[in-house]
């Protein structure tokens, strides 16, 4: 290490020089990295105070014909605990780790995060919209870790074919680079340059580095075979298909899939949803996660977006099950300064749908412009839905980020045409001294329809929200807090007819603690108003004020245990704030070894005034109790094998207190309608073994079982939980083998 510290200052500018190959073995060899840019200017960015790091961190950055090579040296003497537990891919937590984040075009549009832990675990993410991280993507890159008494070292090599890139001018490429290191035991993060994803601008603030322009071509074919035995329905099924990835140069990439396997080796969490808004689920299917960042266009609040890939291969329009995707293709590339993407997918059978999406963006310095077009043909419904979008990003200076977007939909169904539009504006402003503010405006037309291929939790909506926030750090060393950020927000919600849904005010605080954990609390109050969704179009209901209180705390591993807990109180029914319900949850994790952990979750919720739609303009107020029990075992058997056991069950018991009908002016009128009590039990159980044959090549053996019980009448929670374990609506054994052949 002393040799590296004595490298002359000239090496700081040497990243643009040609370089030989680097051996990725975790041992930072002086000769291999002699021409690299040596980065020592790390400062503390979590908490965000720019302080000198307590532990020395160095990095080397080198462009080679084989890819972008980066090395980290993290000082961590015996007195500083190391989080050496082994993790599955994309698993988060309070871990000792380093991150390389790269914007390959240097335009602030799309970035890629490559993370390596001290135990060799990895995660990779796509960064969009300045600070939106998505772990669904899995890239092919190389890394190695070496530990010694005084610290640990990481070497990475990210091939140039990992992402689409515009063709640069003059034989050099401008990269946006951000490097950081996290100390798991304290939660401190040391970064270069001095920026943070907690600020409104992050991706566009990456340090710009000029490197030689290298081209890499890649062709990869991943065939698969899968066999499924259905123990409930009887019989077995076998299938085969293939994924193709071709990148002849940096300006063009093609992904295609024939007869894709969309069987779930990743199980979704159990969800009980009686509300008017559907549940959002992420997508882990490889075809839809490969170079998907360009299509990740949010619009609206929460998870709303223009392209929600779970629609493709989702429930068929005739209710016969999941759609059968015959083939899909995706193009990514650039023409000059224009980046473009095309996605097309076709479902088979007579009820199959055709999905298309086209996206293009152009960087104009401090302004970016993007357009998107989606089209879905649904022959069974005699429906064709088209959505048009234009988005604009303006960063006049580092303190301001202004995003605007306009969206229009046009739907032709059974000879009739409907259309509408929506728009949003989000302005972030850093005021200095830890203060910032945000203004968000959203309009969604009554007939705006995005859910043929997108996700929009509602339409017919007008929303105004203003938020003021302040971040504080520099607390005394004996304080249990390292930093916190407090937010104050006010908002107004109305539908298109001017009906007040609610006016709201909230205060929240997110704190980073010196033990490496976090703490969050929030208090929010809604005024009396109206609920225009609960009856599914059968009337607007007047509702009283609402109150929400929430607290959560996470504590990283100490000895053999790590812990998470939360508490929530909410008054959401017709009794308003006086009818507070309570939910408590605890999630302990026992680390039996660095490779074997057992996580449990137990939660209980009591809702004294739970308001549910019961058909037409009828509603019921229920006294409800819900219990959730989950156990997850994770065993990393070496670096190639993984065993996961996931058990989850939910029990719900709801007893009617009062039946209601929507009366004149939306007033709830009590009735004597015979609305029954009801109870519910759900089960999800999966055992999954994975063997990594090679990068992005796996053998899976998965056993899954599940079921749901919904019946009239009240039953004790303990009895429901016991009965849930015997549910068997579905039971199957799946074996899947996929292998990636690449040049």
Owning domain of residue 364:
244-263+278-430+441-457
Tell whether 166 and 288 lie within a shared domain: no
Structure tokens given for 3: 């040799």
Tens digit of pLDDT for each residue in 703-735? 999 999 999 999 999 999 999 999 999 999 999
Both 183 and 287 in one domain: the answer is no
Q: Retrieve residue 625's tokens.
A: 């109790």
DSSP 510-535: EEEETTS-EEEEEEEEE-SEEESSTT
Nearest Cα to Cα of residue 380 among 356, 355, 352, 354 = 352
Q: Looking at residue 262, what is its pLDDT?
A: 54
Q: Are 209 and 248 within one domain?
A: no
Task: In whole angstroms, give the CA distance from residue 248 to residue 216.
Answer: 7
d(CA 694, CA 630): 32
Same domain as 154, residue 251: no
Return the residue matching tokens 């996961």: 644
Planar angle of CA 373, 102, 140, nearest 5 degrees? 85
Same domain for 290 and 167 = no
Tell whether 350 is covered by a domain: yes
Do 83 and 22 share a structural domain? yes
Write the CATH number for 44: 2.60.40.1190
Q: According to the model, what pLDDT value does residue 185 have?
A: 87
Q: Same domain, yes or no, for 451 and 324? A: yes
Domains in the chain, number: 2
Prior bond to 75 cis, omega within 30? no
The reply to whether 66 falls in a domain is yes
Distance between CA atoms of residues 396 and 493, nearest Å = 30
Query: 191 and 326 share a domain?
Result: no
* This prediction's pTM: 0.86
DSSP letters spanning 657-696: EEEEEE-GGG-EEEE---PPPEEEEEEEEEEEEEEEEETT
Instruction: In the chain, count H helices and then E strands.
Output: 3, 41
Cα four-point dihedral sign 688, 703, 238, 288: negative
Give the mean model confidence (pLDDT) for residues 587-597.
94
- Tell me whether residue 47 is in a domain: yes
In a domain, 479, yes or no: no
Mean pLDDT of the chain: 90
Q: For 238, list phi and psi in degrees, rounded to 5.
A: -125, 145
Question: For residue range 61-77, what is the model confidence (pLDDT) as tens digits?
Answer: 999 999 999 999 999 99
Share of the chain above pLDDT 90, in %: 69
CA atoms within 13 A on the CB side of 314: 18
Q: What is the pLDDT of residue 478?
A: 87
H or E element: which one contains 3?
helix 2-5
Confidence of residue 16 (pLDDT cuts 50, 70, 90): very low
CB of 653 within 8 A of CB of 713?
A: no
669: in domain: no
Q: Are residues 282 and 183 in the same domain?
A: no
Pair 184, 252 in one domain: no
Is the confidence at residue 343, as pLDDT, over 50?
yes
Is residue 630 included in any domain, yes or no? no
> How many other CB atoms are found less than 10 A from the CB of residue 600?
14
Query: Among 207, 201, 128, 202, which residue's Cα sits nearest to residue 401?
Result: 201
In the prediction, which pLDDT does 12 show?
34
180 with 64, same domain: the answer is yes
Give dist(CA 710, CA 730) in Å, integer.
16
- Tell me 322's DSSP state: B
Shared domain check, 82 and 15:
yes
């Amino acid at each position: 290490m002393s040799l590296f510290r004595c490298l002359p200052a000239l090496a700081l500018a040497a990243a643009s020089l040609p370089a030989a190959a680097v051996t990725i073995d975790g041992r930072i060899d002086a000769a291999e990295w002699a021409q690299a840019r040596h980065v020592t200017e790390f400062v503390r960015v979590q908490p965000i105070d720019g302080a000198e790091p307590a532990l020395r961190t160095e990095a080397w950055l080198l462009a080679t014909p084989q890819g972008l090579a980066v090395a980290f040296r993290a000082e961590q003497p015996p007195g500083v605990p190391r989080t050496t537990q082994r993790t599955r891919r994309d698993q988060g937590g309070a871990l000792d780790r380093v991150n390389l984040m790269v914007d390959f075009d240097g335009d602030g549009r799309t970035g890629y995060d490559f993370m390596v832990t001290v135990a060799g675990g990895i995660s990779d993410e796509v960064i969009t919209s300045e600070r939106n991280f998505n772990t669904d993507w899995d890239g092919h890159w190389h890394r190695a870790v070496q530990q010694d008494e005084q610290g640990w070292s990481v070497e990475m090599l990210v091939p140039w074919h990992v992402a689409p890139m515009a063709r640069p001018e003059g034989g050099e490429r401008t990269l946006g680079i951000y490097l950081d290191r996290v100390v798991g035991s304290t939660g401190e993060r040391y970064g270069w340059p001095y920026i943070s994803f907690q600020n409104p601008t992050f991706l566009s603030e990456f340090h710009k580095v000029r490197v030689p322009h290298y081209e890499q071509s890649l062709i990869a074919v991943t065939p698969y075979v899968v066999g499924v035995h259905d123990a409930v329905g009887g019989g077995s099924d076998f299938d085969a298909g293939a994924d193709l990835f071709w990148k002849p140069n940096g300006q063009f990439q093609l992904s295609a899939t024939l007869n894709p396997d969309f069987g779930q080796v990743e199980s979704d969490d159990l969800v009980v949803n009686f509300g008017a808004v559907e549940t959002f689920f992420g997508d882990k299917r490889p075809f839809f996660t490969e170079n998907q960042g360009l299509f990740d266009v949010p619009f609206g609040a929460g998870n709303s977006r223009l392209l929600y890939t779970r629609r493709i291969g989702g429930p068929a329009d005739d209710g016969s099950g999941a759609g059968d995707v015959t083939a899909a293709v995706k193009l990514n590339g650039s023409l000059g300064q224009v980046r473009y993407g095309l996605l097309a997918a076709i479902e088979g059978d007579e009820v199959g749908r055709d999905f298309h999406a086209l996206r293009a963006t152009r960087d104009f310095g401090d302004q970016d412009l993007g357009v998107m077009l989606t089209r879905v043909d649904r022959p069974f419904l005699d429906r064709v839905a088209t959505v048009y979008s234009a988005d604009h990003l303006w960063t006049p200076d580092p303190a301001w980020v202004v995003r605007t977007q306009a969206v229009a939909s046009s739907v032709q169904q059974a000879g009739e045409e409907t259309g509408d539009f929506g728009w949003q504006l989000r302005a972030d402003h850093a005021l200095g001294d830890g203060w910032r503010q945000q203004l968000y405006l959203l309009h969604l037309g009554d007939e705006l329809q995005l859910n043929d291929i997108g996700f929009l939790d509602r339409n017919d909506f007008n929303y105004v929200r203003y938020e003021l926030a302040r971040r504080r750090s520099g607390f005394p060393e004996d304080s249990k807090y390292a930093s916190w950020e407090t937010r104050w927000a006010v908002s107004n919600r109305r539908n298109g007819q001017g009906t007040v849904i609610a006016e709201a005010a909230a205060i929240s605080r997110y704190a980073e603690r010196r033990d490496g954990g976090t703490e969050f609390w929030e208090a929010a109050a809604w005024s009396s108003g109206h609920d225009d969704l609960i009856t599914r179009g059968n009337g607007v209901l007047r509702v009283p004020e609402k109150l929400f209180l929430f607290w959560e705390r996470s504590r990283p591993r100490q000895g053999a245990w790590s812990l998470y807990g939360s508490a929530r109180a909410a008054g959401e029914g017709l009794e308003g704030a006086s009818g507070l319900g309570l939910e408590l949850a605890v999630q302990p994790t026992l680390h039996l070894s660095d490779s074997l952990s057992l996580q449990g979750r137990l939660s209980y919720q009591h809702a004294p005034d739970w308001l549910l739609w019961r058909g037409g303009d009828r509603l019921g107020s229920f006294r409800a109790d819900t219990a959730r029990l989950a156990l997850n075992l994770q065993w990393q058997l070496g670096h190639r094998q993984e065993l996961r056991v996931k058990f989850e069950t939910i029990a719900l018991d709801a007893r009617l207190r009062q039946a209601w009908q929507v009366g004149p002016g939306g007033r709830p009128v009590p009735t004597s309608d015979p609305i029954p009590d009801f109870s519910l039990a759900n089960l999800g159980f999966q055992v999954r073994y994975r063997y990594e044959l090679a990068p992005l090549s796996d053998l899976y053996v998965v056993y899954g079982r599940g079921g749901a019980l919904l019946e009239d009448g009240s039953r004790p929670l303990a009895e429901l939980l016991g009965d849930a374990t015997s549910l068997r609506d579905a039971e199957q054994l799946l074996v899947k083998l996929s292998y990636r052949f690449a040049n």
